[in-house]
């Protein structure tokens, strides 16, 4: 039996490596791509906590060996490895270093491994492919959203125990359905903020929603075609909203617009909630605008990006955009070949010809420009990025963004074959 398992594992791994080497990465449909709650999912966990702290622990689904690994990055090592349900499917992971539990999502399945690695399988029901999630372990909540517009709300303890869970449809009230949303901390409890199909904004108390039917507080607005809502770190009341032709700072406590910045008919090429929410707009003729907020007012950064990035026709796509207002940095990853882009951050959408650029936000000084290793699954941090290579024996690396120092961990799959 072990011999057959080994043969199948090696065959699957070889096919995976072959496919990665022959193609640009995972293709993703642009259909309804703005329709998310939280952020689009990834096979590697975010490395920044909700409060902004950078974690020295990363969780990743190894697409070669088809297991989940928890890596310690200082020093480099494997803390634990976990088997998953339906290992042949695409898997997405969430993790918080402050709570040390792992969320594993795949088609029709969700498993939460508590801090002792005990699996809690399928605490809620859904039939689609996980699409996005709002994950706030500091508030004790996970809200997932799938390809069939099922909303799954899970209340969690600080150790990863499921306290309550409920699946809901996307119709919130009457004939009003969810367009997009996210979780905010309003200072009293966790609140789900939703844009609805009539351009109203709904506030949902998650403590109530996880146990009962939808019971939203709905605020009408004068906004048109709301497509994206982002919480603002440190703000209890304001959110950033993208509409058909503007970016809006909106107060969800009073239901009023604080400030609006028009984008006209220019193409939005990136919506990002990492770490500070921002919108990247192609202004035409090679000009790009980054619109963001300090929580009180809207700000903008105008610049010309390298090569063809920013052109609406066949531009070099920005795969990932990270804005850190407190540390005065904007870091983006682009792919230096023509092709379509993805509106949300997905640095692994293409796995060839990627380059990382870091600018000082205050004066646009280029602080760093470096190539990213082809075929690696990566995740960006503040001062490092993590890379997991498609390797039968296992290879992971931690790259310092500014110093080019590389720490390598190898052969961690050896005993799994």
Nearest by Cα to 71 from 377, 416, 381, 388 = 388
Average pLDDT of the residues in 8-35: 49
- Counted residue by residue, the chain has a size of 417
Average pLDDT of the residues in 284-288: 83
Nearest by Cα to 61 from 86, 44, 36, 46 = 44
- Residue 339 confidence class, pLDDT cut points 50, 70, 90: low
- Residue 340 confidence class, pLDDT cut points 50, 70, 90: low
Token pair in block for residue 261: 């910045």
| Chain Cα centroid distance, residue 157 | 22
Token pair in block for residue 10: 């090696």
Distance CA 213, CA 179 (A): 18
- Residue 287 confidence class, pLDDT cut points 50, 70, 90: confident
Residue 397: pLDDT above 90? yes
> Looking at residue 206, what is its pLDDT?
96
Residue 20: pLDDT above 90? no
Average pLDDT of the residues in 248-270: 94
Distance CA 317, CA 340 (A): 7
Q: Is 383 helix (H, G, I), strand (E, B) or coil?
A: coil
Residue 22: pLDDT above 50? no
Residue of higher predicted confidence among 22 and 105: 105
- φ, ψ (nearest 5 deg) of residue 8: -65, -40
Beta bridge partners of 396: 388, 409
> Looking at residue 285, what is its pLDDT?
79
> Looking at residue 15, what is its pLDDT?
47
Give the helix/strand (H/E) hosting 296. none
pLDDT digits (tens, 9 = 90+) for 358-380: 999 999 999 999 999 999 999 99
Residue of higher predicted confidence among 190 and 315: 190
Residue of higher predicted confidence among 53 and 83: 83
Range in 1-10, 49-58, 160-169 with the lowest mean pLDDT: 1-10
Beta bridge partners of 229: 241
Distance CA 212, CA 166 (A): 8
Distance CA 309, CA 305 (A): 6
| Residue entry with tokens 């024996």 | 393
In the 3-class helix/strand/coil scheme, how is 49-75 assigned residue by residue? CCCCCECCEEEEEECCCCEEEEEEECC
> Looking at residue 306, what is its pLDDT?
62
Residue 410: pLDDT above 80? yes
Distance CA 367, CA 329 (A): 9
Percent of the residues in the chain that have a pLDDT greater than 70, as a whole number: 88
- φ, ψ (nearest 5 deg) of residue 414: -55, -45
> Looking at residue 341, what is its pLDDT?
66
Residue 207, Cβ density class (10 Å: 0-12 exposed, 13-18 middle, ≥19 buried) = middle
Degrees, nearest 5: CA angle 383-39-406? 25
- No. of H helices and E strands in the chain? 2, 33
Residue of higher predicted confidence among 349 and 127: 127
pLDDT digits (tens, 9 = 90+) for 202-258: 999 999 999 998 999 999 999 999 999 999 998 999 999 999 999 999 999 999 999
């Amino acid at each position: 039996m072990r011999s057959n398992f080994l043969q199948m594992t090696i065959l699957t791994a070889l096919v995976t490596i072959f496919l990665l080497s022959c193609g640009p990465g995972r293709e993703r449909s642009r259909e309804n791509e703005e329709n998310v709650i939280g952020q689009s999912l990834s096979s590697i966990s975010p490395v920044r906590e909700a409060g902004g702290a950078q974690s020295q622990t990363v969780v990743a689904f190894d697409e070669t060996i088809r297991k989940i690994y928890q890596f310690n990055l200082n020093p480099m090592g494997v803390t634990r490895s976990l088997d998953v349900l339906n290992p042949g499917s695409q898997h997405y992971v969430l993790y918080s270093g402050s709570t040390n539990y792992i969320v594993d999502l795949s088609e029709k399945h969700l498993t939460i491994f508590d801090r002792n690695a005990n699996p809690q399988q399928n605490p809620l029901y859904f039939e689609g492919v996980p699409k996005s999630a709002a994950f706030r372990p500091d508030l004790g909540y996970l809200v997932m959203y799938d390809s069939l517009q099922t909303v799954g709300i899970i209340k969690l303890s600080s150790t990863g125990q499921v306290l309550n869970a409920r699946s809901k449809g996307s119709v919130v009230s009457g004939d009003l359905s969810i367009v997009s949303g996210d979780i905010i901390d309003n200072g009293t409890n966790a609140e789900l903020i939703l844009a609805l199909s009539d351009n109203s904004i709904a506030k949902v108390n998650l403590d109530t929603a996880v146990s009962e039917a939808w019971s939203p507080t709905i605020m009408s607005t004068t906004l048109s075609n709301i497509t994206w809502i982002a919480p603002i770190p440190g703000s209890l009341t304001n959110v950033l909203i993208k509409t058909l032709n503007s970016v809006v700072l909106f107060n969800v406590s009073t239901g009023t617009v604080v400030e609006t910045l028009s984008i006209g008919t220019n193409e939005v090429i990136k919506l990002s909630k990492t770490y500070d929410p921002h919108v990247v707009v192609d202004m035409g003729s090679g000009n790009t605008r980054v619109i963001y907020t300090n929580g009180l007012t809207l700000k903008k950064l105008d610049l010309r990006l390298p090569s063809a990035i920013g052109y609406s026709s066949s531009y070099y796509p920005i795969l990932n955009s990270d804005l850190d207002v407190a540390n005065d940095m904007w870091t983006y990853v682009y792919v230096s070949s023509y092709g379509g882009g993805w509106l949300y951050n997905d640095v692994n959408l293409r796995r060839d010809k990627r380059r990382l650029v870091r600018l000082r936000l205050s004066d646009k000084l280029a602080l760093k420009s470096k190539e990213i290793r082809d075929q690696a699954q990566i995740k960006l941090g503040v001062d490092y990025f993590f890379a997991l290579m498609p390797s039968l024996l296992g290879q992971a690396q931690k790259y310092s963004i500014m110093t080019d120092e590389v720490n390598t961990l190898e052969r961690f799959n050896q005993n799994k074959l």
